[in-house]
Chain A
Amino acid sequence: MSATVENRRSEEMIKKAKKQSPWAIARRKLFSNKLAMISLGFLVLVTILAYLAPVIAPFDPYRVDIMNRNASPSADHWLGTDNSGRDILSLLIYGGRTSLTIGFICMFAVVIIGTTIGSIAGFYGGLVDSLLMRFTDFVMNFPYLVFVIVLASIFREAGIWALILVISSLGWTGAARVVRSKTMSEKENEYVMAAISIGGTPFKVIRKHLLPNVMTTIIVQATLLLAVMIVAETALSFLGFGVPAGTPSWGNMMSEARQPHVIRTMWWVWVPPAMAITLTILAINFIGEGIKDAFNPKSTR
């Protein structure tokens, strides 16, 4: 009697397991990955704090206070003040908003450009593919950072949107290549041929049939790209070619540390943004690894 109950239960479980979509399996795997979940929690927390900046920041980040320049951490200013007396903690929170926003926008732009070019090249193949890929290789030949710096210096007056345009217009090549190779292998499947044979237009086949199957690759790429884009923005701002000086951003905060005496004596000016950048990138990398692992059918974690 109990044996049949056991049997039925296990049969049900198998049925349940079979019913699970790849997405559900991946989600379950991701949720059980402690490191990725802690990282996700951290990233969400940082994002929420950054976007609540006007509510939680103790001071106005633009408020210059000549009397309180370069003050070390105190009860009033938890993380001290910078060269012009601005509160570091408030700058950090507002700066997070700038850096994360630019990072997210650039990531979306890069993913959209890369996915479009990659999927078109992979789907059509032939002449279209070789033209688009030659173009991608060509853009790849430029030293990324050098060109971004030179372009950003030319368009320095044009503000944040020009910066976003510059960062993303050169950063899509890797994503395009990955999406292309994935699309090419996915295209060989019968369901694509079936979709074409019943008269699906190329656009519809790519959007409805190919992209959902390439999505896992795109998501992993997007996570890793988010980290790259945040680094690009902070590095550019650090060098003075990014977000306009005066606007709070993690990179602009770090640029104070270009003077040796700041590094030597005023740790509270550069350690907070340095830690914020590093921990954010670390968290994003762990989430990316977690997602990659979750979608990998070979991993049994």
Chain B
Amino acid sequence: MLLYTLRRIVIMIPILIMISIVVFALALAMPGDALSGQIDPSNTKPEYIEEMREQLGLNDPVHVQYGRWAAGILQWDFGRSFVHRMDVTEAIGQRLPNTILLSVLSLLLTYVLAFFMGRYAGRHPYTIGDYGIQGLNYLMLAIPSFVAAIFAIFFFSFQLGWFPATGSIGSGVTPGTMEYYLSKLKHAALPAIVLGMLTTASYTQFLRNDIIENAQKDYVRTARAKGTPENKIYNKHILRNSIIPIVTLFGFDIGSIIGGAVIIETVFTYPGIGELLITSIGRRDSAVVIAITLMLSVATLVGNLIADLLYGVIDPRIRVE
């Protein structure tokens, strides 16, 4: 397993380099100065731009620029944000905890909801409850996340008033108190549910079908023949087999959550890095855009790596190549 893990990590390095080259190419194509973020995008005087470009080395050959940019990133220097007047790392660092809270909460809700709905539907297939869950699933798979988010704001924030519609924290709450954490949780709850909707639907479906399939296998018949109570058959024998494949999907979730978070955070104006990405594109704050793009790509790559490793843990055949 250790060897397999090391091998997977080593394979990642060339991919990382190639991803950085693609992101670098995007940076060159972006308006303004995406590599260091030093040129004022609102100052359009040609002399000023030319002087700054010369000073920052933006007229150097491309490979020299790439080397300088990559060396900077390895030293955790992503340039400066012109809009926020601070280092890009700092601007992202302020938002990152919010996005992490949102993602973790969303994953948690996804697994809990999918577990209970899938277990119920799998145990009672072709009943009213199962059809209800299936119908809900189809709806969750069909409704785009931003549409769902707007419906959720309309019903749960404006009509019922259960959750706040925007932001990540209530006004006038002092950091560190119990109230503060509850307020944070309350603000993240609705976006997290919407964000996890798609995965919830697919996991529920997956778990349900797997339970139904497993229920016809020989080992279940054996357990029944021995007189094992039905509850125990489902909760111990079947569930343990059916839950494994879902665990391996965890890594891929990271990728889907990243894409979803960009949209969901924007709809809820939730100050996370997805929302920062969208507003930065609008304000031509290219250095921030490039840093976030690189960061999210690396996160997706790590997610795929985790998925691979989990798969190796569960299915030993994968490890042997």
| Given known A-B contacts A146-B296, A153-B281, A260 and B144 have beta carbons under 8 A apart | no
B278 touches A149 (CB 8 A): yes
A231 touches B144 (CB 8 A): yes
| B277 contacts partner chain A, Cβ-Cβ < 8 Å | yes
Choice from A149, A257, A277, A285 contacting B281 with Cβ under 8 Å: A149
| Given known A-B contacts A238-B146, A264-B154, A143 and B300 have beta carbons under 8 A apart | yes
| Given known A-B contacts A150-B293, A151-B26, A282-B142, A143 and B150 have beta carbons under 8 A apart | no
A254–B277 CA distance with the chains assembled, in angstroms? 20
| B147 contacts partner chain A, Cβ-Cβ < 8 Å | yes
| Given known A-B contacts A144-B259, A151-B26, A235-B144, A270 and B304 have beta carbons under 8 A apart | no
A141 touches B258 (CB 8 A): no
Looking at the assembled complex, report how far the CB atom of B279 sits from the nearest CB atom of chain A, in whole angstroms: 11
| B306 contacts partner chain A, Cβ-Cβ < 8 Å | no
- Contact residues of B with A, CB < 8 Å? 15, 18-19, 22, 26, 29-31, 138-139, 141-147, 150-151, 153-154, 158, 165-166, 255, 258-260, 262-263, 266-267, 277-278, 281-282, 289, 292-293, 296-297, 299-301, 304
Interface size, chain A (Cβ < 8 Å): 36
A239 touches B278 (CB 8 A): yes
A263 touches B259 (CB 8 A): no
- Contact residues of A with B, CB < 8 Å? 138, 141-147, 149-151, 153-154, 227, 231, 234-235, 238-241, 254, 257-258, 260, 263-264, 267, 270, 274, 277-278, 281-282, 285-286
Residues of B within 8 A of A143 (CB): 255, 258-259, 296-297, 299-300
Looking at the assembled complex, report how far the CB atom of B148 sits from the nearest CB atom of chain A, in whole angstroms: 9
A238–B151 CA distance with the chains assembled, in angstroms? 15
A270–B154 CA distance with the chains assembled, in angstroms? 11
Choice from B147, B258, B262, B293 contacting A274 with Cβ under 8 Å: B147
Residues of B within 8 A of A142 (CB): 19, 22, 297, 300
Residues of B within 8 A of A235 (CB): 144-146, 263
Residues of B within 8 A of A241 (CB): 281
Nearest residue, chain A, Cβ from B16: A141
Choice from A146, A270, A282 contacting B262 with Cβ under 8 Å: A146
13 of the cross-chain contacts (CB-CB < 8 Å) are: A138-B18, A142-B297, A146-B296, A150-B289, A153-B289, A239-B278, A258-B267, A263-B150, A277-B144, A278-B142, A281-B143, A281-B144, A282-B138
Looking at the assembled complex, report how far the CB atom of B131 sits from the nearest CB atom of chain A, in whole angstroms: 12
Choice from A147, A257, A260, A270 contacting B293 with Cβ under 8 Å: A147
Residues of B within 8 A of A260 (CB): 153, 165-166
B138 touches A285 (CB 8 A): yes
Nearest residue, chain A, Cβ from B268: A260
A150–B138 CA distance with the chains assembled, in angstroms? 30
A146–B22 CA distance with the chains assembled, in angstroms? 13
B147 touches A146 (CB 8 A): no
A278 touches B147 (CB 8 A): yes
A182–B153 CA distance with the chains assembled, in angstroms? 43
B281 touches A146 (CB 8 A): no
| Given known A-B contacts A141-B15, A146-B296, A277 and B147 have beta carbons under 8 A apart | yes
Nearest residue, chain B, Cβ from A261: B158
Residues of B within 8 A of A238 (CB): 146, 263
A108–B289 CA distance with the chains assembled, in angstroms? 31
Residues of B within 8 A of A263 (CB): 150, 153-154, 158, 165
